[in-house]
Structure 1
């Protein structure tokens, strides 16, 4: 284990990335545990307020992210300084993205349906960083040989081509697949070959005069949501806690 860690993480200079990812995940988990205890009225924890203003944990998160980010930029990939700033950055990023929905909506939606976005973004971020830690590089550059990497024209062509592919997948309404295709271009190929989601720019442009394709797209989208919506919601509830029930207004 020690030899593998030294060869694949320490020597390539990936230790700060591993520490940042670990700190990010642990911070998110601990934060969710604490907030769920506060919500249930258990434990010694409570909301932090100053002058009657509730201080969300995104505030110290922003501060830690700035400190850790600038510190990491000023440090090399090796040494105690880079490792320490990586941990600070990971903690800050965990606090910020745990309240991503608040930033997106500019409202305290932490325990609402809209607050699920925070969990989605955290899981997506952890997955992408994990892929990068495993050796995947954006736009498929990791699949190129040393000779190909020395050819700048080929590198530019590969990056531009894969970036365009990701945009096409995004235009089909497949945001998650588009994001993952930046790291793994094969995912983009699968997303591009499949039908676009209804309401996406691609569907509006190319399915407008193709009723069969439009109907098939709507039907596939319905079956997809019916199959995966339930498991996805249960997983989000397990990770981040169930949202507050919606109270019907009279």
Structure 2
């Protein structure tokens, strides 16, 4: 294990990325344990931080740590990989604290334990997934051409690699506009998924559907919309239920009423 770590992580220059990755996961898990204990009114070392009547959210500490880690990483002397790893870990802790309250930043109100608060967990999962793929050596948008493509006669042409990059980027945009977020993100590293996501039917609530076939679009297509709704019900809803179960196992139940709904009433 030690030899593998040295060869694949240290010798390849990925130690700072690994430290960021590990710190992100550990800090997120610790933060969620902490807030769940606070919510359950369990007395232990940590509690809510307030200055007067102002509750200081942990995103504030995250921003400070990200600034400290990021700036420190910039000023550390080149070749000091150990210190770069330390600053990357500090940045990872800060990123975990910020992403854990991503939903609060997005909605500009305290939705931490409401349904909208699940966006924070989604953001952390995305960050962990993307960092993990970078850590194992995958590169986004096929910047480094795989062996089959590099063997083609045209691969030596100066326009070939940029052309592949632009094509993958366009496919990624189409996939994301069709509402397939995870397919689009994974496809940045495994481009064949972008082709699948781009050619398949869009999700019914996606921007693509609203523009091209949903009721109220320029060319409403009821049949296509009905197919999209059937697919959503058959395939997407079970996946969402499973995702929510995993989220709540990791981060606790997001069961408070939405502030938006309370305001309406």
Select 1:136's aligned residue among 129, 135, 138: 138
By how many angstroms is 1:77 displaced?
6.4
After the TM superposition, list the runs of 4 or more consecutive aligned residues in structure 1 that deviate by more than 6 angstroms.
146-150, 247-250
CA distance in 1, matches of 2:63, 2:9: 27
Select 1:242's aligned residue among 244, 249, 253: 253
**Structure 1: unaligned runs, 5 residues or longer:** none
Who is 2:5 aligned against? 5
How high is the TM-score relative to the length of structure 2? 0.86
**Structure 2: unaligned runs, 5 residues or longer:** 214-218
Q: What aligned pairs does 1:101-120 form with structure 2 within 5 A after superposition? A: 101-120=103-122
Who is 1:46 aligned against? 47
Q: In the alignment, is residue 225 of structure 1 matched against residue 216 of structure 2?
A: no
How high is the TM-score relative to the length of structure 1? 0.91
Select 2:99's aligned residue among 90, 97, 120: 97
The alignment covers a number of residue pairs equal to: 250
| Matched-pair contact (CA < 8 Å) for 1:16–1:82 | yes
CA distance in 2, matches of 1:225, 1:187: 17
Higher normalized contact order (CA 8 Å, seq sep 6+, divided by chain length): 2
Aligned residue for 2:188, secondary structure, equals helix
CA distance in 1, matches of 2:199, 2:17: 33
Who is 1:170 aligned against? 176
| Matched-pair contact (CA < 8 Å) for 2:145–2:161 | no
CA distance in 2, matches of 1:100, 1:106: 10
Q: Single out whichever of 197-206 and 86-95 deviates more from structure 2.
A: 197-206
By how many angstroms is 1:47 displaced?
0.5
Q: In the alignment, is residue 184 of structure 1 matched against residue 203 of structure 2?
A: no
Who is 1:29 aligned against? 29
Aligned residue for 1:232, secondary structure, equals helix
Q: Single out whichever of 69-78 and 59-68 deviates more from structure 2.
A: 69-78
